[in-house]
Chain A
């Protein structure tokens, strides 16, 4: 089933070393599926994200950007639009292997696109 494939895709990305959390949002900022540890710092980031996603996506669309990165104290947040109505958000550890993670994100993005489109 398509929904299960989507869950598996997020599970795989979440298991990648250096990925602290990954969340698939609908473009109106509503979380579709979430993989996070129980950590209050991540919950704060999620609150921030829910408020920002619409505006960030609008600006990304305006500027023709394929992805956007935000650097926080303990995380780097990568926003990657995965389809017309979804955006994949990945929270990574600042010391993680960024190239490896970017490959995993690209793979996840492609799978999500196939699932939801």
Chain B
């Protein structure tokens, strides 16, 4: 199992197998006022408070605005981390990206420190869709690869209307990202007013429900998943005997036996259904013979 980087969002890691996978790019997608920047603050502070380095590239807020907003949320330790040099905030005006001299990859390279892992944050990447032409947008794959090389990133992206001119460009990061988390705010003021959904989490199991969340002072985003929700993504050892029997059975199948046994072992370690795997194991055994 790949190493995990804790998100710092209360209640999220339980739903995504323990956190973001290390060296991945994770997209937080949502409309105005859903808490995307708060998500970034929590992700940054979780690492900073444990001695990690964070680079925060902001296309909207200046360093002063970030400090003020964090203080208002009760996340005032941010100033200490800026002073210690562990948090680097880079503010770029979105429209400046239109100048050919500004390259996000160069900015990333310049700010890579000696540590082997950095938490990178880009809030929001939407300006890339708004200010860059198609050719430049293609450089997104290069940017994403650089981000993966340097550490684990959280990138926010504004949700656009299907008919918006910026829509085509804004969808590209959703395809390229390793994780996509949708945040919604309906505006009804009920439990499911603000909701989170994990649309994709490459190489890992994740909760598939609609989870309500609140933004609480001093904490930030708190996801209100029920025991039922968490059980759905928690692995169970209840059917181990059936898996062990199936592994023994498939091990004897000619040349594929060993490979298949490894796969079933993987399935056993990840099994999170309350139902018996009998049907699936029978199907696999019959098909692979």
Report A's interface with B, CB cutoff 8 A.
Answer: 1-4, 6-7, 26-28, 30-33, 83-86, 115-117
Interface-forming stretch among B103-111, B220-228, B258-266, B280-288?
A: B220-228
Q: Name 16 extra pairs, CB < 8 A, besides A84-B188, A117-B191.
A: A3-B224, A3-B226, A3-B228, A4-B228, A6-B191, A7-B228, A26-B210, A33-B209, A33-B228, A85-B186, A85-B188, A85-B190, A85-B192, A85-B193, A86-B190, A117-B190
Ordered nearest first, which 7 A-B pairs have the shortest CB separation? Answer: A3-B226, A116-B191, A85-B188, A7-B228, A85-B190, A116-B190, A4-B226
B37 within 8 Å of A by Cβ? no
Report B's interface with A, CB cutoff 8 A.
Answer: 186, 188-193, 195, 197, 209-210, 212, 224-229
Can you list 13 residue pairs at the A/B interface with Cβ under 8 Å?
Answer: A1-B224, A1-B227, A6-B191, A6-B226, A7-B227, A7-B228, A26-B186, A30-B195, A85-B190, A85-B193, A115-B191, A116-B190, A116-B192
- Write out the residue numbers on chain B whose beta carbons fall within 8 Å of the beta carbon of A6: 191, 226
Partner of B210, one of A2, A30, A83: A30
- Write out the residue numbers on chain B whose beta carbons fall within 8 Å of the beta carbon of A30: 195, 197, 210
Contact status A26-B195, CB under 8 Å: yes
A7-B190 in contact given A26-B195, A33-B209 (Cβ < 8 Å) = no
- Write out the residue numbers on chain B whose beta carbons fall within 8 Å of the beta carbon of A2: 191, 224
Nearest residue (CB) in B for A2 is B191
Smallest distance from the beta carbon of A84 to chain B beta carbons, Å?
A: 5
Contact status B192-A31, CB under 8 Å: no
- Write out the residue numbers on chain B whose beta carbons fall within 8 Å of the beta carbon of A4: 226-228
- Write out the residue numbers on chain A whose beta carbons fall within 8 Å of the beta carbon of B228: 3-4, 7, 33
